[in-house]
Structure 1
Amino acid sequence: MNLSVSEHLSQALAHHPARRWLVAYSGGLDSSVLLHALVICQPKATIEAVHVNHGLSPHADAWQEHCQRECQTLGVKLHTVKVEVDGDANIEERARRVRYQAMADLMQPGDYLLLAQHRQDQAETLLYRLMRGAGVKGLAAMAPERGLGGGQLLRPLLDVDRSRLLAYAQSHHLSWITDESNLDEHFDRNYLRHQVLPVLQTRWPAASQTLARSAEHCREAQQLLEDLARLDGELLDERGEALGYSICLTELARLPERRRNNWLRYWLQQRFGVVPGHQALADIHQQLLSPGGATPQARVDIAQVQLRRHGSRLYALASALQWTPQPNQSALEWLDKTRPLSLPGGDRLQLTPAATGQVGLSLDCLKQPLQVRWRQGGERCRPQGRAHSQTLKKLLQEYQAPAWLRSRVPLLYVGGELAAVGNMWVNHPFAACGADALALNWLQQAVEEPRARLQNRNF
């Protein structure tokens, strides 16, 4: 059955109860058709348009004025957002990222943002990613739906041919703009659109439809890979950690390499929005997963994530949460001991009553000045219950503190003497037990606690 564009759109949106429909409205043919058809098929809905002015064309302000006139005619509220796109290299991709961020900032729970990408756009995306050596996930091309900001993004026209959109625009006498940059074949997508796809369609008239179908097959295959990753993840004992997450290396090593790679891609994408490439995966295997183990300093950086190994676990840590004190880091005075003390890097220290049988700081410590410092080298300590003191460096190794946290451990000084090392131990002269003691809690920054099972997300 050959549905009209309005009928197709009505069916595509039937199972999406939106609080508000937002339309990404450039003023071009595709988004003009989408906005007009939405007003027809959803006459009682709250419909608003979003126009992002990149300022890249001398006509950008005129296009914004055109969008304002058209929205006024349709009775649709228009949000206009002016953004800046810096530099010349890969400007197409940067403009896309800035545009999506601007639209995400407007999204609220219950909102749906509609984009007008169609079948030819999907075919171009598949070809573009194929030329970049993408895997199954990339060849799935554009997702029909995914989360964006506080709401959801929908592409309801992905299986609609552009010729139908043109016919709709002509039959309804719509007015639209033409972006001259869409004719510039220096941009890869424009080259595919004007040079490659027409040649393919000369030989295979249904090339766009066939390529879009291949993208859908890849999407289904990717969903199966994510299903497998979630099953494998149930064996890996994922834990929320200070600064990130960790998994069991022993269980990860039991998986065949292809499934390890599949899990790592899935895990880092879900937790940090990062997809490791071929070289990054090779670095992880060589530096962190090799049978001989890794040095405490070994790490692999992927975008804003650090991967490190400690003991029998592999850690993925948010780089933005990392903090290392400077050699001359200033000490902090803890004046109000009834309140948590904020530390550089986002950590906090807090004093609470010790639990029954718990070794903590003597209550007498509250009568003296408290100061927090960080390691400078040469510190010695005698944990409660030991006969002799040892260097702090050796004790931290013995307590198996991760290498990336050792310099960050706050040292509590009472009356100028080292009394406690984070929440690890209390120095013997300052120790007490139970009701006569205070527990020192080192509250480190943490990302979101892992759910019982990682959930599927469409990207």
Structure 2
Amino acid sequence: MTHPVVRTLQDLAFQHHASRWLVGFSGGLDSTVLLHSLSAAQLSTPVVAVHVHHGLSPNADSWQRHCKAVCDSLEVPLLTQRLGLHSPTGNLEERARQARYQAIKELTQPGDVVLLGHHRDDQAETLLYRLMRGAGVKGLAAMGEHRRLGNANLWRPLLHYSRAELLAYAREHGLQWIEDESNQQLHFDRNYLRQQVLPALTERWPEASKAMTQSAEHCREAQSLLTDLAILDSQQLAERPEPGGCSVDLAHLRALPPRRQKNYLRYWLDERFGVSISRQAQVDIEQQLLGEGTSVAARIFVAQVQLCCFADRLYALDARAQWAPGADEPSLPWQTVTKPLALPGGDCLSLKPATCKGIHPDYLTGKLEVRWRQGGERCQPAGRGHSQTLKKLLQEYQVPTWLRPRVPLLFIDGELAAVGDYWVNQAFTGEGARVMALQWSFEPRQSPTSD
């Protein structure tokens, strides 16, 4: 008779095709049961074990050898990722967890399915840990059964099995596993919950972990509804991409009830940047950015994301993508106009056929170079009767204040010909099928996601 754990994996394989199964394999009880049961399922898809060598324990090398021996006995290839987590700063548990996910992510290929051995007691532990940190609905949803990880889908097929059930499986099949000595160190929060709190709760309520898993599922459903509401609200907020980020209509956001403002901002920053808003940051946003009479100088940082207001819009900008030229920034020659020109800060300039007015092609045979504002520049946009200072024109075109120093200025034979992709100087403009428009683009930066 097929064991329920094995049948669970067979059902997963039937419902979700994979080009490879990548099993996170620490050598502990959970991952040993997962790897053994996956092997016993006799699937046609290749199985690969991934062992992350943290280098934190003096036993790390022997654990790797144990994992290699287990994989050899199951005829499963083993990939080892070595890490260096020797810095004493920060939360070691959290840094190790993030490093594990990143190490596995780097190995993924399109079509892979990553399997992790988290079980029901892990889920209860996660819920308690986040509860003690004051988490909201999303945090109390704990670990999802499924999510994306790099090029792959990540599944936790054992979440509905208790540790006792996995222990019974291991003993039934005579499995050997390693015990991480750090699991007994109670100064780690999760170890304290695992060793002290959960046993006490289970003694009083034998089905405690099952009940907490159900609560996490209820929170996950509630979070899905909150996400649906945020998506509905987004339809009124006119989101648009911006250099290094995005923006939404500030008036419509202010018109939402405060609870829906909070819900949308949590959704927006998580969806676009993978960051969470702290309670204090939420208060700062409400007071400094969403209140009437907002100062254009106000800046709120949420992790690497900068929030600010300009021209009746709320901007969310990746701080890592922000760049401004120095006072002595050298000009850049553009010798081959048929190819894009890479600029500092990740920007790029290119010339594309214009649909109406643009730069007359006769001028593109001159000496082209890109400079940045030094002060005092003047320009006459096409169709204007006279020139104006660049400072005034950038204000008129509502170019955000933080972006103005970064706007590339195209000079042809020493004369200002175009300002970013905002306008062309009257003296260089033309009409017809051959005119070219300047295109200023920014390479978007990806942010990591996590549970």
Normalised TM-score (structure 1): 0.92
**Is the 1:249–1:313 Cα contact (8 Å) retained in structure 2?**
yes
User: Following superposition of structure 1 onto structure 2, how do residues 66-145 of structure 1 map, counting pairs within 5 Å?
Assistant: 66-88=66-88, 89-145=90-146
C-alpha distance in 1 between matches for 2:113 and 2:128: 28
**Is the 2:10–2:43 Cα contact (8 Å) retained in structure 1?**
no
User: Following superposition of structure 1 onto structure 2, how do residues 158-307 of structure 1 map, counting pairs within 5 Å?
Assistant: 158-295=159-296, 297-307=297-307
Identity of aligned residues (%): 56
C-alpha deviation, 1:418, in angstroms: 2.1
**Is the 2:137–2:219 Cα contact (8 Å) retained in structure 1?**
yes
User: Following superposition of structure 1 onto structure 2, how do residues 400-419 of structure 1 map, counting pairs within 5 Å?
Assistant: 400-419=398-417
C-alpha deviation, 1:11, in angstroms: 3.7
Compared CA separation, residues 42 and 423, structure 1 to 2 (3 A): same
Q: Are residues 1:27 and 2:42 paired?
A: no
Amino acid at match of 1:138: G
C-alpha distance in 1 between matches for 2:198 and 2:353: 71
* Per-residue CA distance 1:27-53 (angstroms, 9 max, x = gap): 111111111111112343311111111
Residue of structure 2 equivalent to 1:339: 339
**Is the 1:381–1:390 Cα contact (8 Å) retained in structure 2?**
yes
C-alpha distance in 1 between matches for 2:442 and 2:12: 46
C-alpha deviation, 1:226, in angstroms: 0.9
Residue of structure 2 equivalent to 1:380: 378
SS in 2 for 1:324: coil
* Per-residue CA distance 1:275-304 (angstroms, 9 max, x = gap): 112122222222222221331x33222122
**Is the 1:384–1:426 Cα contact (8 Å) retained in structure 2?**
yes
Compared CA separation, residues 313 and 42, structure 1 to 2 (3 A): farther
C-alpha deviation, 1:153, in angstroms: 0.9
SS in 2 for 1:39: helix
SS in 1 for 2:171: helix
Compared CA separation, residues 435 and 106, structure 1 to 2 (3 A): closer
C-alpha deviation, 1:436, in angstroms: 7.4
User: Following superposition of structure 1 onto structure 2, how do residues 304-315 of structure 1 map, counting pairs within 5 Å?
Assistant: 304-315=304-315
Residue of structure 2 equivalent to 1:390: 388
Residue of structure 1 equivalent to 2:46: 46
**Is the 1:119–1:209 Cα contact (8 Å) retained in structure 2?**
yes
C-alpha distance in 1 between matches for 2:305 and 2:67: 41
- 303-312 vs 258-267, which moves further: 303-312
**Larger relative contact order (CA 8 Å, sep ≥ 6):** 1
Compared CA separation, residues 198 and 253, structure 1 to 2 (3 A): same
- 118-127 vs 374-383, which moves further: 374-383
C-alpha distance in 2 between matches for 1:430 and 1:177: 73
Compared CA separation, residues 234 and 105, structure 1 to 2 (3 A): same
Determine which of 366, 378, 387 is the counterpart of 2:364.
366
SS in 2 for 1:216: helix
C-alpha distance in 2 between matches for 1:17 and 1:338: 44
Unpaired segments of 5 or more residues in structure 2? none
Amino acid at match of 2:430: A
- 67-76 vs 422-431, which moves further: 422-431
Residue of structure 2 equivalent to 1:327: 327
**Is the 1:22–1:48 Cα contact (8 Å) retained in structure 2?**
yes
* Per-residue CA distance 1:329-388 (angstroms, 9 max, x = gap): 0011122233322211222222344434x1x33444234322211011122223334344
* Per-residue CA distance 1:199-242 (angstroms, 9 max, x = gap): 11222122111111111111111111111111111222222233
Compared CA separation, residues 24 and 338, structure 1 to 2 (3 A): closer
Root-mean-square deviation (CA), in Å? 2.1
Amino acid at match of 1:318: D
Amino acid at match of 2:195: H
C-alpha deviation, 1:3, in angstroms: 6.4
SS in 2 for 1:316: strand
C-alpha distance in 2 between matches for 1:14 and 1:367: 62
C-alpha deviation, 1:170, in angstroms: 1.0
- 340-349 vs 59-68, which moves further: 340-349
SS in 2 for 1:407: helix
SS in 2 for 1:403: coil
C-alpha distance in 1 between matches for 2:221 and 2:445: 30
**Is the 1:24–1:115 Cα contact (8 Å) retained in structure 2?**
yes
SS in 1 for 2:236: coil
Compared CA separation, residues 54 and 387, structure 1 to 2 (3 A): same
C-alpha distance in 2 between matches for 1:330 and 1:429: 25
**Is the 2:56–2:86 Cα contact (8 Å) retained in structure 1?**
no
* Per-residue CA distance 1:95-118 (angstroms, 9 max, x = gap): 111111001111122211111111
